[in-house]
Chain A
């Protein structure tokens, strides 16, 4: 089945730093999604990417759909305490979402 590999698995940064994380897959994707999960809550959609090479921003977040269609990255600029959480790359199939294992972001004030 599909496998999504996210790196790094965890990050410890200082407030104000920029963050970069990525995701690779064993299969070609038609859609890349990035979700964030706050502690004790369900995941929330951050950014959706629909075309190879597409670069999309949402506030301080920027994500790109890799040209090979097998990878994507997510950048967060000028991190703030509320950015803490787990970030998942996700593939949307016809019937379900397939999640990576997540990148856990911790921010030191």
Chain B
């Protein structure tokens, strides 16, 4: 499978716990993006990496959120001290630069439920 892989697909956690999600992009893609999608809304940009460098972070990404892409391949998104408002689908996407001919390839997402 050469698509974008996200794990886990679903995560249920208690409020206050930390959670970590993983994204494996398409291997030759140098850009990796994280988006968050709440019910009834379109995905919203959180952050992106070019290779291992994190180049932009949305103001949606509070201090409790941290993302890494240590070797320029897979990425992790950690949420500390989860809150009920963090419940959402977290989508990862990758692209080869911003080449519109290829577009972005999204993974199937990790659905987080904070109880």
A interface residue numbers (CB < 8 A to B): 4, 31, 33, 40-45, 48, 50, 88, 90, 92, 94-102
Contacts and interface: CB of A to CB of B under 8 A. Distances in A.
Interface string B41-72: 11111001000000110000000000000000
Nearest to B103: A45
B8 to A, nearest CB: 13
B106 A92 contact: no
B55 A95 contact: yes
Contact of B107 (A42, A50, A95): A42
Given A42-B93, A98-B45, A92 B98 contact: yes
A40 B10 CA distance: 10
B98 A94 contact: yes
Contacts of B74: none
Contact of B100 (A41, A48, A95): A48
A65 B81 CA distance: 44
Contacts of A98: 45
B108 A95 contact: no
Given A48-B103, A50-B100, A99 B109 contact: no
Contact of B42 (A50, A95, A102): A102
A102 B56 CA distance: 25
A67 B66 CA distance: 41
